[in-house]
Amino acid sequence: MFKYLNHLVVSKFVMAVTGIIILLFVTGHAIGNLQIFIGKEALNAYAAFLQGLGEILWIIRIVLIIALLLHIITSIYLKLYNNGARPDKYVVTSYVKAKLNSRTMIWTGIMIAAFLGYHILHFTVGSIQPENYNQEEIYTKNAYSVGMGMNAHIANPEEHRGSVLNKVVYERHDVYKMVILGFRNPYVSGLYILGMILLGFHLSHALQSFFQTLGMAGPRFSPFIRTFSNWYGTITAIVFLIVPLAILLGFIGGNV
């Protein structure tokens, strides 16, 4: 399966394709996060929708896990191979076009992978700050529009009897509260902000690299895509960053 590693251009192709899959997911994730600014209802409904995807969610997860593993394995192999191709270092080093982001891809990549592990334990598995993770939200929907959902169950039906007319009471994971409580910790927020700066830095080289590796380059396109790539990394980082920043500064989440 890993025979492709013997061919440098094919390895680069694997890096580009797996990278763009992760980049597209990251972009969707960044945009999805913004719903926290709309409010509790929007974010929790979005989270419940994603959880409700069932098999589709697992297909997406498996594709992402495979892409990530291939991306990491190939990058480490290429880095070691390429270091071996330049065994003796120059006494004086001077770079013109190799900017810091391209020269630190492996290091930002490793740090992002470590951050990803923390992030999954924090918000997906819930083993970091479990007290924030185990939050449930009781909400209601009009019975005539939704009906009695198969997955819905009535919490404390006795309490609601008579008071809730034509409504069904549901329970769902309170992502909004979990995020707000989590990011109120300045150390947690700081770690996320740092992780997202590294991610943006990584993406600023990654996107244009995808096009170059796949052979899309030209005298007008290449300068454009390199500038675009820098902006893409910067904006992605900012879109991610504003969530912990807004919570830390108290702009959102006052009602939790």
Partner 1 sequence: MKLQLNIWRQENKDSKGAIKNYKLNEVDEDMSFLEMMDILNEDLIHKGEEPVVFEHDCREGICGTCGMVVDGRPHGKEHGTTVCQLHMRKFNDGDKITIEPFRAKGFPIIRDLAVDRSAYDRIMQAGGFISQNIGSAQDANALPISKNVADLAMDAASCIGCGACAAACPNGSAMLFVSAKASQLNLLPQGQPEKAARARAMVRQMESEGFGGCSNYYECEASCPKNVSVNFIAKLNRDYLCATFKEGT
State how far the Cα of 15 lies from the Cα of 106, in Å rounded to an integer.
Answer: 12
88 binds partner 1 per the rule CB under 8 A: yes
Pick the piece of the chain touching partner 1 (CB under 8 A) from 54-62, 79-87, 121-129, 176-184. Answer: 79-87
207 binds partner 1 per the rule CB under 8 A: no
Q: Which of 13, 25, 118, 228 binds partner 1 (CB under 8 A)?
A: 13
87 binds partner 1 per the rule CB under 8 A: yes
Q: Which of 2, 10, 56, 138 binds partner 1 (CB under 8 A)?
A: 10
199 binds partner 1 per the rule CB under 8 A: no
Q: Which of 52, 217, 224, 227 binds partner 1 (CB under 8 A)?
A: 217
Whether 213 contacts 12, CB under 8 Å = yes
Q: Which of 1, 55, 84, 150 binds partner 1 (CB under 8 A)?
A: 84
> What is the footprint of partner 1 within residues 91-150 (CB under 8 A)?
91-98, 102-103, 105
Sign of the four-CA dihedral 101, 18, 64, 60: positive
Classified as helix, coil or strand, 149 is coil
Select 49 or 95, whichever has its Cβ closest to partner 1. 95
Question: Shortest CA distance to 247 belongs to which of 182, 175, 191, 174?
Answer: 182
- DSSP string over 74-89: HHHHHHHHHHHTS-SP
Question: Shortest CA distance to 169 belongs to which of 150, 179, 181, 156?
Answer: 156
Q: Where do the DSSP E strands lie in 20-166?
A: 136-142
Residue numbers at the binding site for partner 1 (CB under 8 A): 3-4, 7-13, 78, 81-98, 102-103, 105, 205, 208-209, 211-219, 222
